[in-house]
Chains A and B, each alone.
Chain A
Amino acid sequence: YLIPLSSSHYPVNQTTMHRPSLSACQLILRSFGRSGGNIVASRRFASSMNVRDALNSAMKEEIERDPNVFLMGEEVAQYEGAYKVSKGLWKLMGDKRVIDTPITEMGFAGLAVGAAMAGLRPICEFMTFNFSMQAIDHVINSAAKTYYMSAGDVKVPIVFRGPNGAAAGVAAQHSQDFASWYSHCPGLKVVSPWNSEDARGLLKAAIRDNDPVVCLENEMMYGVSFEVSPECESKDFLIPIGKAKIEIPGNHISLISYGKFVGLCVEAAAELAKEGIQCEVLNLRTLRPLDEEAIVKSVMKTHHVVTVESCWPQCGMGAEIAARIMESQAFDYLDAPLTRMTGADVPMPYAQALEAAALPQVADIVRVVRRTLNRAAK
């Protein structure tokens, strides 16, 4: 088992497969401590937080910090959030700051954009991004384009957030990954957190950003806990929008992903490390603007690349990354073509076995990495 040095990378609890043995984790934490820091007992600086609490605390702090920030969406107030992401916020902040909307996405997204144009800073929650399609005219035509159309006169400091991509058995109309649709559009910023640190830092940065930001979360990650650094717990902890993060450095192949699938890449990397294959796992964190520099640098180092996402293949994120690599100096450093691992080109089926087959799994990533590297063997 290859366990990364920095404790914030590695999930303590996980809903899927590979659980690290707890004693091994504790052992590593005690001997390595934090990267570059003093070696001290883990209890003093590492704490555990799940993604739900990361998002919850981020919103709570930003609402407390700025009187113009408020949260609106279906079930966010009295029900405490369809997935409990806004648990406790309405009780604490009241009706003015945490607002339940009717089930009318087009109406309330438009209302939220209008409020943003008039100087407030709404967090507009879509129960899932599938429902954002009903409101997508407001995300794109009313929010994304207005700063440009008004030649800089009208700002739209809004955050659209909610779960994106597949959950578990929610079938075709509730499982779409909107990463490529939203990251296609100039005027939007698009972020997609993987772990708790990402969730806190990116959401806080999004709320403080004066442009419309789409924050694509994942329902399956809400309950997953991660070690977080003390910096992460600071009220001013921000992750810069537009910068990817190398979760695990490696020399043989770049695994580029976002959101939940970063976790699968981390697991695949651990398995491949046993056979001496060093995967570099690049967590994009931001989809627009894409951190092209990080992608190019990684591919120039490893000469091999696999992208992992749950968007459908055509015009997905992998397609964009492939094009960017071809357009850059990294092209000359490739020893094999890019493989994009994507959702299968079907509406998401319901049956569990079919759903699993329609999405990239750890075993698939491992197989594709081996194939990519053999193709390059002399």
Chain B
Amino acid sequence: MLSTRPYKLHKLESGPASEAQVTSDEARKYYRDMATVRRMETAAGNLYKEKAIRGFCHLYSGQEACCVGMEAVLDRNDPVITAYRAHGWTYTRGVPVKAVLSELTGRASGCAKGKGGSMHMYNHNFYGGNGIVGAQVPLGAGIAFAQKYREDKRVCVTLYGDGAANQGQVFEAFNMAKLWDLPCIFVCENNKYGMGTAVERAAASTAYYTRGDYIPGLWVDAMDVITVREATRFAKDWCLSGKGPILLEMETYRFSY
């Protein structure tokens, strides 16, 4: 049994488990996945410096515990949508490293045939990869809407950054998600910087897990994969029991632009 790092709660009476069972197979899998993402992103960073990758290349290095910890609880039937720092998620959603690097280098063997690039990679139940800051949040609410419409017992995970957290459309999405009880887990990956700007200079409130207001929230130390996993388990149960949306703030760090 391992301890999870402490959580902070917003409009929740109780939070995720403080202890979690981890088998050695699970531990090895999480480690392997996180190390693979780190290696892949490092390779991408080097290719970018060589100018084999053009345009944008937003690396997930440092944030690996977030996607790997969440995927430990999600299954491939739970859709995920994220912003442009998407390579880590692209891998955990089932796109092989080779297909990611091929796409980044503009090859027809890339996962979007070279037509998408870094910010537009997709897979079954993975809706990218979105270039416009904040746009993916209403889209994610819409995917959750479709699940509720069809009575699928699934959650949609909708990720956005600390920078996007100030976008008006995020609050519009929160409003409709709460109004209509959409099974949406909103996840703010707070890596302390919105593009080049530190959070304190962009946000009047950096308590992102509270900014869903009427949507209950959880602050998560996302540098620990088990802490992330248990938070995700809690959030998924929350949504699937018909309580509507929930917001997770994953406090993490990134090593690059």
Chain A interface residues (CB < 8 Å from chain B): 70, 96, 101-102, 104, 106-120, 137-138, 141-142, 148-151, 153-154
**Chain B residues near A138 (CB, 8 Å)?**
135, 138-139
Within 8 A of A (CB), among B115-147: 115-116, 120, 122-123, 127-128, 130-132, 135, 137-147
Question: In the bound complex, what is the Cα–Cα distance between A107 and B141 (angstroms)?
Answer: 9
A76 to chain B, nearest CB (A): 15
Question: In the bound complex, what is the Cα–Cα distance between A96 and B180 (angstroms)?
Answer: 11
**Chain B residues near A107 (CB, 8 Å)?**
138, 141, 169, 171-173, 175-176
B151 to chain A, nearest CB (A): 10
Size class of B's contact patch?
35 or more
Interface centre among A113, A114, A141, A153 (most CB of B within 10 A): A114
Q: Once the chains bind, are B137 and A110 in contact (CB under 8 Å)?
A: yes
Q: Once the chains bind, are A110 and B131 in contact (CB under 8 Å)?
A: no
Question: In the bound complex, what is the Cα–Cα distance between A277 and B116 (angstroms)?
Answer: 53
**Cross-interface CB contact of B146 among A119, A137, A149, cutoff 8 Å:** A119
A-B contact pairs, 12 of them (CB 8 A): A104-B169, A111-B141, A114-B138, A114-B140, A115-B146, A116-B142, A117-B142, A120-B149, A138-B138, A149-B112, A150-B116, A153-B122
Q: Once the chains bind, are A106 and B122 in contact (CB under 8 Å)?
A: no
- Is there a chain A Cβ closer than 8 Å to B88's Cβ? no
A145 to chain B, nearest CB (A): 9
Q: Once the chains bind, are A111 and B138 in contact (CB under 8 Å)?
A: yes
Q: Once the chains bind, are A106 and B175 in contact (CB under 8 Å)?
A: no
- Is there a chain A Cβ closer than 8 Å to B179's Cβ? yes
B88 to chain A, nearest CB (A): 19
**Chain B residues near A137 (CB, 8 Å)?**
132, 135
**Chain B residues near A151 (CB, 8 Å)?**
112-113, 115-116
B126 to chain A, nearest CB (A): 10
The 7 closest A-B pairs by CB, nearest first: A114-B142, A107-B172, A110-B138, A114-B139, A118-B146, A111-B142, A151-B113
Question: In the bound complex, what is the Cα–Cα distance between A149 and B140 (angstroms)?
Answer: 18
- Is there a chain A Cβ closer than 8 Å to B168's Cβ? yes
